[in-house]
Chains A and B, each alone.
Chain A
């Protein structure tokens, strides 16, 4: 039967083509496998496997609080021995201990630092000059319109840009309209410092307990007319502390933290406005009750 013979031929050709195709592909695969194998041997960059391990142990927050661009860079620096594990403020104490044990280094003693708000003029303490009804209800949005509506130019606007930007839920607005830092959760990453249009946050070690919660550059009654807890530059705190610990600069009491060990709670005792405070733990109270109407608008004359 001629037909069968023809089919045989066809099948044979097909098989041949199939084998050639597979052969070429396998050949190419083997060839490139060799190329890759040689490249792997020749061009290999040695990377310490510990970097991956350490990075795995870090919290992956990529917050930058350690001063490095991210967790990977911090892990590299750790393995190199440039920094101590405790520089990572997000890790728990056990986490730091684990990394230190793994790398066989000292965990280092890093003092816990937190963000402090240098303003205590909440809704009860400082009044507004107008009503802000802009489309952007953010501090940044308010501050580009005539510097915000608060009577005090330097004060906290209270719309919570810092709360929104915080990755660690370490901030919330208290009833007085001031952002309150939860010291346990704060990692001192500095996001709130950068977002605040009035630059009111400062990262401080917990041991710095004497804090001037005011940035107003005004003096005396004028400062107090804008906010009841403003620093009036009266100088009582300077007199009540050891020489050199507190100075009046630009109508503002400034604590010299180089002499932090010499600070004493006595300094705040005679402050007439309570602008200077001694902070143990949390900065502001949660619930603030006041007889004054909250968020009041006060104007001179009829308009």
Chain B
């Protein structure tokens, strides 16, 4: 049992089993208040910023758009709308660079330099007087997705199947990735938006308990949330959790707080839990109360390679180069650009990609932090087995991946792996475990698609 004395919280801290303790490096940016990024010349908006079907563009080349105006509509149920982040003119509708390295259809908008950039007036439904269906549709057309990183459409998550009930509404404020502080700042600065959004969502899901899980290293956020909730006379439980990676994975948070494990292949809602990121809920309130669809998000720009670490409110579609430039630019020794945190973030080959809805951080590392280690043979120490939060056997799966035995990997439940990289982090032989699991998963998925296509 671990008490939170060290963090100034005199209570027991809950957690899950296994996991790792990477160095935090949050002090680089956790004290930096959120600042607004100035408007830049050009915005690039890929149509597929969320999981599911890409949105359908409804603007033409040369068309003038207003800030907050709808520019692409959802193509199916698992898809969301997209809005213009600026007043400006559509330059092209065609292939654009995406942060995942692929080129995909997108919209490029040139900013009108003389515009006051006021939000376009659109009628917003009153959340207290609409039905659940109308609410879900409003969320979908507001373009809101999970801002934790996976960018899963929020309305799909909020629509609870008929045979299930939502008993626990859980807000995820763990932010267990080292370096990232965007959610921390959102909890501190958008506390009222966050709690108000929770109230809106609670109106529709009618949960028995409302829980906000926060890692204990954000004690100030825990206190701020508790105090504001009391002022708003809103019964939420703010539960501090042990500082451990990957505490912020939704399945890990559920097992920490509820003491129950989400079975393989099931969703949290099968246990009656609905887990969303705190930023998503704040965006929900900002849409219904201020009429702002998801056109900007808080991004942590950090790492030792950037001149000034900051938490920046960036309009979606801003080129990453401009964001880095705004933070003072890079030092000369930069060797790695990561989107997201150091554990799960993806390396980038170029800064000429836009910030998208799923970008939680831009991490810039120098050659001091990045070491290319030589890979040695597995010495069967079992550290990866002790680290895996979902109790898989990474050592065995790694051996299978080396021999390209994808079917055997599937039998070892590699498809349950959510790629937290704890195994690669602890491996003393520096075996690229999680990397090979990603390959294995893609091979298995491709094989299934081939078989389904036959």
**Which residue on A lies nearest to B424, using beta carbons?**
A135
**Which residue on A lies nearest to B440, using beta carbons?**
A140
**A interface with B by C-beta (< 8 Å):** 128-130, 133-136, 138, 140-141, 144-149, 153, 165, 194, 197, 217-218, 299-300, 302-303
Least CB distance from B42 to A in Å reads 14
A145 close to B346 (CB less than 8 A):
yes
A129 close to B349 (CB less than 8 A):
yes
**Which residue on A lies nearest to B103, using beta carbons?**
A153
Given contacts A129-B350, A135-B375, A299-B350, whether A144 and B103 have CB atoms under 8 Å apart is no
A145 close to B347 (CB less than 8 A):
yes
B232 adjacent to chain A (CB < 8 Å): no
Contacting residue for B435 out of A128, A136, A217, A300, CB 8 A: A136
Given contacts A133-B372, A147-B101, A153-B101, whether A140 and B442 have CB atoms under 8 Å apart is yes
Q: Whole-angstrom distance between the alpha carbons of A217 and B373 in the complex?
A: 37
18 A–B contacts, CB within 8 A, in A order: A128-B349, A130-B349, A130-B350, A134-B435, A135-B430, A135-B435, A140-B439, A140-B443, A141-B432, A145-B347, A146-B347, A146-B349, A147-B100, A147-B102, A153-B103, A194-B446, A300-B350, A303-B351
**Which residue on B lies nearest to A139, using beta carbons?**
B439
Q: Report A-chain residues with C-beta under 8 Å of the C-beta of B446.
A: 194
Given contacts A130-B350, A146-B348, A146-B349, whether A135 and B439 have CB atoms under 8 Å apart is no
Q: Whole-angstrom distance between the alpha carbons of A141 and B350 in the complex?
A: 18
B375 close to A141 (CB less than 8 A):
no
Least CB distance from B91 to A in Å reads 14
Q: Whole-angstrom distance between the alpha carbons of A218 and B431 in the complex?
A: 37
B330 close to A141 (CB less than 8 A):
no
Instruction: Encode contact with A along B310-338: 1 for CB under 8 Å, 0 otherwise.
Output: 00000000000000000000101010000
B373 close to A135 (CB less than 8 A):
yes
**Which residue on B lies nearest to A133, using beta carbons?**
B372
B439 close to A144 (CB less than 8 A):
yes
**Which residue on A lies nearest to B347, using beta carbons?**
A145
A153 close to B373 (CB less than 8 A):
no
Q: Whole-angstrom distance between the alpha carbons of A129 and B346 in the complex?
A: 15
A136 close to B102 (CB less than 8 A):
no
A141 close to B334 (CB less than 8 A):
no
Q: Report B-chain residues with C-beta under 8 Å of the C-beta of A303.
A: 330, 334, 351
Interface centre among A133, A138, A146, A194 (most CB of B within 10 A): A146
B99 adjacent to chain A (CB < 8 Å): yes
Interface centre among B348, B351, B436, B439 (most CB of A within 10 A): B439
Given contacts A217-B95, A299-B350, A300-B352, whether A144 and B438 have CB atoms under 8 Å apart is yes
Q: Whole-angstrom distance between the alpha carbons of A136 and B375 in the complex?
A: 9
B95 close to A134 (CB less than 8 A):
no
Q: Report B-chain residues with C-beta under 8 Å of the C-beta of A145.
A: 101, 346-347
Q: Report B-chain residues with C-beta under 8 Å of the C-beta of A299.
A: 350
Q: Whole-angstrom distance between the alpha carbons of A129 and B432 in the complex?
A: 23
Instruction: Encode contact with A along B341-371: 1 for CB under 8 Å, 0 otherwise.
Output: 0000011111110000000000000000000
Closest 6 CB pairs of A and B: A147-B101, A135-B432, A146-B101, A130-B349, A129-B349, A140-B439
B102 close to A153 (CB less than 8 A):
yes
**B interface with A by C-beta (< 8 Å):** 95, 99-103, 330, 332, 334, 346-352, 372-373, 375, 404, 430-432, 435-436, 438-439, 442-443, 446, 450
Least CB distance from A130 to B in Å reads 4
**Which residue on A lies nearest to B324, using beta carbons?**
A303
Least CB distance from B359 to A in Å reads 13
Least CB distance from A224 to B in Å reads 15
Q: Whole-angstrom distance between the alpha carbons of A74 and B112 in the complex?
A: 67
**Which residue on A lies nearest to B435, using beta carbons?**
A136
**Which residue on A lies nearest to B450, using beta carbons?**
A194
**Which residue on B lies nearest to A154, using beta carbons?**
B103
**Which residue on B lies nearest to A145, using beta carbons?**
B347
Given contacts A146-B346, A218-B95, whether A141 and B439 have CB atoms under 8 Å apart is yes
Q: Whole-angstrom distance between the alpha carbons of A24 and B352 in the complex?
A: 87
Q: Whole-angstrom distance between the alpha carbons of A128 and B330 in the complex?
A: 21
B435 close to A141 (CB less than 8 A):
yes
Q: Whole-angstrom distance between the alpha carbons of A35 and B314 in the complex?
A: 82
Given contacts A153-B103, A194-B446, A303-B334, whether A144 and B349 have CB atoms under 8 Å apart is no
Q: Whole-angstrom distance between the alpha carbons of A33 and B351 in the complex?
A: 79
Q: Report A-chain residues with C-beta under 8 Å of the C-beta of B404.
A: 165
Interface centre among A133, A141, A149, A303 (most CB of B within 10 A): A303
Least CB distance from B432 to A in Å reads 4
Q: Report A-chain residues with C-beta under 8 Å of the C-beta of B443.
A: 140
Q: Report A-chain residues with C-beta under 8 Å of the C-beta of B351.
A: 303
Q: Report A-chain residues with C-beta under 8 Å of the C-beta of B95.
A: 217-218
Least CB distance from A191 to B in Å reads 11
Least CB distance from B362 to A in Å reads 13
Least CB distance from B403 to A in Å reads 12
Given contacts A129-B349, A133-B372, A303-B330, whether A144 and B435 have CB atoms under 8 Å apart is yes
Q: Report A-chain residues with C-beta under 8 Å of the C-beta of B100.
A: 146-147
Least CB distance from B303 to A in Å reads 13
Interface centre among B103, B330, B432 (most CB of A within 10 A): B103
Q: Report A-chain residues with C-beta under 8 Å of the C-beta of B346.
A: 145-146
**Which residue on B lies nearest to A251, using beta carbons?**
B95
Least CB distance from A249 to B in Å reads 14
Q: Report A-chain residues with C-beta under 8 Å of the C-beta of B350.
A: 129-130, 299-300
Interface centre among B99, B372, B436 (most CB of A within 10 A): B436
Q: Whole-angstrom distance between the alpha carbons of A145 and B340 in the complex?
A: 13
Interface centre among B101, B346, B351 (most CB of A within 10 A): B101
Q: Report B-chain residues with C-beta under 8 Å of the C-beta of A153.
A: 101-103
Q: Whole-angstrom distance between the alpha carbons of A255 and B103 in the complex?
A: 24
**Which residue on A lies nearest to B430, using beta carbons?**
A135
Q: Report A-chain residues with C-beta under 8 Å of the C-beta of B330.
A: 302-303
A136 close to B436 (CB less than 8 A):
yes
Besides A129-B349, A130-B350, A146-B348, 11 new A-B residue pairs in contact (Cβ under 8 A), listed by A number: A130-B348, A134-B347, A135-B432, A141-B436, A141-B439, A144-B442, A146-B349, A149-B349, A217-B95, A303-B330, A303-B351
Least CB distance from B319 to A in Å reads 11
Q: Report B-chain residues with C-beta under 8 Å of the C-beta of A217.
A: 95, 103
Given contacts A140-B442, A303-B351, whether A134 and B432 have CB atoms under 8 Å apart is yes
Q: Whole-angstrom distance between the alpha carbons of A144 and B346 in the complex?
A: 9
**Which residue on A lies nearest to B353, using beta carbons?**
A146
Q: Report A-chain residues with C-beta under 8 Å of the C-beta of B436.
A: 136, 141
Q: Whole-angstrom distance between the alpha carbons of A146 and B430 in the complex?
A: 21
Q: Report B-chain residues with C-beta under 8 Å of the C-beta of A144.
A: 435, 438-439, 442
B432 close to A148 (CB less than 8 A):
no
Q: Whole-angstrom distance between the alpha carbons of A140 and B432 in the complex?
A: 13
Q: Report A-chain residues with C-beta under 8 Å of the C-beta of B432.
A: 134-136, 141
Q: Whole-angstrom distance between the alpha carbons of A292 and B88 in the complex?
A: 42
Q: Report A-chain residues with C-beta under 8 Å of the C-beta of B375.
A: 135
Q: Whole-angstrom distance between the alpha carbons of A302 and B325 in the complex?
A: 12
